[in-house]
Amino acid sequence: MAIEPRRRMVLSPLWLQGAILTFVVGFAVLLVLAFMIYRDQAPIPGKVVDPSGNVLFTGQDIRAGQGVFQKYGLMEYGTIFGHGAYLGPDFTADYLHREAEIMLKMYQGRPGPLSANERVRKELRDNRYNPTTGTLVFTEGQAKAFRDLQPVYAHSLRNPHAEGLLPTVYIHSVEEMRQLGAFLAWAAWTTTAQRPGQSYSYTSNWPPEPLAGNFPTAAALVWSVLSIAALLGGTGIVLFLFGRYDWLGWQRVTEREVVFLDPANVPITPGQRATRWYFLVAGALFLVQTLVGGLNAHYRAEPTNFYGLNLAGYIPYMLSRTWHVQLAIFFVAAAYLATGIFVAPLIARREPRGQSTLAYILLVAVAVVVVGSLLGEAAGMRDMLKGGLWYWLGAQGWEYLDLGRFWQILLVVGLFIWVAIVFRGMRSSLRGEAIGNMPYLFLYASLAIPVFYATGLLATRGSTYVVTDFWRFWVVHLWVEDFLELFTTATVAYIFMLLGVITERTATRVIYLSVLLYSVGGVIGTMHHLYFSGAPVAHMALGAFFSAMEVIPLTLLSLEAYSFLRLGGLEGPTGAFPHRWAAWSLAAVGLWNFLGAGIFGFLINLPIVSYYEIGTTLTANHGHTAMFGVYGMLAVGLMLFCLRYIVPPERWSNKLAGTSVVSLNVGLAWMSFVNLFPIGLVQLYDSYQVGYWHARELAFVLRPTIHFLEWARLPGDALFIVGGVLPLLWLAFQGAIHGRPATQEAQGEALALYKEA
């Protein structure tokens, strides 16, 4: 049997080789950094004793206390080491400040060579852990602080009836509260105890706390300066290359005119028609996600009730925020899965039989994961899942990896099944194709989604916090900001090539540029999340330097946004471009990528700024504008593109599509510039001027100025939901109920989206 010869690459093989080299070098560095995390993490002592040798708590208590922290979703209430939610305190900073005050009061007036302030600093900074015996000795002051703070946190968190300003948390067990106290005491110890052989703590002297002698390190300042230099130098080089080679970036076909076919005249396959239910599910998830997001925002304005209703007794803040974060991932994932299935037959120009059946099976599996995980999280936080079931069926308790381990495994399996469906759909286009050309690039981008989401499974139940954080940010950063970005670029490039707007060479080049520019900074730049989590200082150095270079491709996206605006206004011989509002959504993606991920991201990524800022609403501002502004708006754009072919013309409304796109962007801008960004600036000022612990107190949120800004967010949220989400959901509903019939025989040129003029 003769082997079909492969088509040559449309670009030089150097592009493929450069992309492979970038990944090999980047991930080799990450593996070295992983080794350093495991080797140099703060120790968990076998036991912690007072000066008399009495055991205060054990290493098992610390691990069990971390489990309590996870089980009750406390990372979705406050933060630990600066990471988590924003209503509650940062538990590490809060414990450390209270501990230092107790010690200072205890030593005040005692005779000795050191003043009370000096003694507190010395005792907190001395590392009295003995690695030979596995014993950590607390001083008299540290031991008293531990005993005194046990009832303080018990009073705060054992609050089943939502009394006062705290939301409902069902921590009834006295033993669980004792274990949680042990975990918080150990976490605070790591923030001040000096690393062996170093002059700074395991967390690089974070959080800022003068009473404990915690001030920024020299490394935080130096690597901030070098980050700025890397950004300016890298931007200059890339802009020079784009000026020197005018074929870089998006280039519209100019040598020919094309006729955009009326979407009503383009047949759809059974597999494509099946995606209409995905889009309806995505729209419904989007609506619920924004509603619980509005509830979260309201809790910051009125922590005790919801317009007179005691919702906190049923949906406490940590549960509503857990759902808000998880539903954001589910909404985007549903839209991406549907788009992959929809685009595959357009690439292959045919569809194998049975694709629709596989698509429906996958949809049911995804629905089981979504519903099961959301209900499990609620049950786990109410202590209804006994033993270890809270971890498997409830919530793992880490932000963005909240869903139970069982549901996480099912989701990974489902994503791999999706890749198999996409591969099956485009297999015919892979035969005889060079492995560096677009069909393979689209397949690689699809495969990266389950592969890098699965890295979250490396954070096991017994992992320490810093190890968990390392693998967690492979999902939060690498999966989202690198490989979803790669899938985004590959999909958009393919769509516009299929529409005849750009050539295959341009589309392929854009994908490779995305790989090279994002991955040079993005892979190693993942470590900027671990500045103060307990990682060695090398993670700060490399994370700061390379994350600064992530801003470079985001700067170029301002040019990309303009290109998409031009695409949205295209006129052909037969009329307007049929995907105007999808193109405008992509223009918004470019804008928010530059603003949310670029400007707002760089603002908080400098180590010297992050030292005072991490965990404030400036982080939330970056998260919302980057996550929804980029991946949410892309999901909207992809939905509008696909639904344009699914919804019959008599039921399609460009007015509703336009209303949705405009309202979503105006609502997001309102949220950012009226609420999150100004509050974050005030919080950053307070963190430096008064103290980080003070800027993270609930009392700070309830100050009159902040309280006003919290209420001022309401019009933007209302516009976002009513004007943005509901019209999109209505269009998805029209597609699901009245979708155009499918044609199994459609293949070849029948699936073309344009023709030569």
pLDDT digits (tens, 9 = 90+) for 73-119: 999 999 999 999 999 999 999 999 999 999 999 999 888 899 999 99
Query: Each residue of 112-150: pLDDT tens digit?
Result: 899 999 999 999 999 999 999 999 999 999 999 999 999
Say whether pLDDT at 6 is over 80: no
Query: Each residue of 346-359: pLDDT tens digit?
Result: 999 889 999 999 99
Say whether pLDDT at 196 is over 60: yes
Q: Which residue's entry shows tokens 């490394």?
A: 219
Say whether pLDDT at 70 is over 90: yes
Q: Which amino acid is at 190?
A: T
Say whether pLDDT at 187 is over 80: yes
Say whether pLDDT at 750 is over 70: no
**The predicted structure's pLDDT at residue 171:** 84
Strands (E) across 509-620 are located at 571-572, 575-576
Query: Each residue of 586-598: pLDDT tens digit?
Result: 889 888 988 998 8
Any domain includes 186 = yes
Any domain includes 194 = yes
**The predicted structure's pLDDT at residue 573:** 46
Any domain includes 752 = no
Say whether pLDDT at 4 is over 70: no
Q: Which residue's entry shows tokens 């809270």?
A: 390
Report the CATH number at residue 71. Answer: 1.10.760
Query: Each residue of 520-575: pLDDT tens digit?
Result: 888 999 999 999 999 999 999 999 999 888 777 766 655 665 666 665 555 544 45
Average pLDDT, the chain: 90
CA distances from 538 to 210, 458, 662 (A): 25, 22, 43
Query: Each residue of 301-330: pLDDT tens digit?
Result: 988 778 878 787 788 899 999 999 999 999
Q: How does residue 253 score in pLDDT terms, banded at 50, 70 and 90?
A: very low
Q: Which residue's entry shows tokens 């998880």?
A: 326
Between the two ends of the chain, the Cα-to-Cα distance in Å is: 41
Half-sphere exposure for 729 (CA within 13 Å, toward CB): 19
Q: Which amino acid is at 224?
A: S
User: Which residue, among 8, 1, 207, 243, has the nearest Cα to 95 in the 3D structure?
Assistant: 207
Percent of the chain scoring above 70 in pLDDT: 91
Domain of residue 124 covers 50-215
Q: How does residue 735 score in pLDDT terms, banded at 50, 70 and 90?
A: very high
What is d(CA 171, CA 154) in angstroms, rounded to the nearest whole number? 9
Q: Which residues are within 8 A (CB) of 513 and not within 5 positions of it... i.e. 6 or more apart? A: 248, 249, 553
Any domain includes 543 = no
Any domain includes 210 = yes
Q: How does residue 374 score in pLDDT terms, banded at 50, 70 and 90?
A: very high
Any domain includes 571 = no
Name the token pair of 488.
């985004």
Please say whether the beta carbons of 274 and 360 come within 8 A: yes
Q: How does residue 246 score in pLDDT terms, banded at 50, 70 and 90?
A: low
**The predicted structure's pLDDT at residue 151:** 92
Number of domains in the chain: 1
**The predicted structure's pLDDT at residue 233:** 86
User: Which residue, among 418, 330, 312, 314, has the nearest Cα to 374 in the 3D structure?
Assistant: 330
Any domain includes 89 = yes
Lowest mean pLDDT among 59-73, 316-330, 443-457, 568-582: 568-582
Any domain includes 98 = yes
**The predicted structure's pLDDT at residue 136:** 98
**The predicted structure's pLDDT at residue 559:** 61
Answer with the residue of higher pLDDT: 495 or 517.
Answer: 495
**The predicted structure's pLDDT at residue 1:** 42
